[in-house]
Amino acid sequence: MKCHLSRIMGEKRLKISDVARDTGVNRGTVTRLYNETATRVELEVIDKLCEYLNVEVGELFERNIES
């Protein structure tokens, strides 16, 4: 899975601390998603991030299809 959180946050000029504070999502979780090192994410977290960033799940995550 590819996470586009860093790109979206860059476009909106948001910092990890801003997102964590405003969404209530743990800063470590936001950091792992930002750096694409997260191995699992709660659906509630995905929902909060999508709502906060005003994006759909498909804009935040992309499935990598390897051949």
- pLDDT tens digits, 6-30: 999 999 999 999 999 999 999 999 9
Q: Whole-prediction pTM value?
A: 0.90
Summarize pLDDT for 46-56 with one digit per residue, the tens. 999 999 999 99
Whether 67 shows a pLDDT value over 80: the answer reads no
Mean pLDDT of the chain, nearest integer: 95
Q: What is the β-pairing status of strands 61-62 and 2-3? A: antiparallel
What 3-state class would DSSP assign to 3? Answer: strand
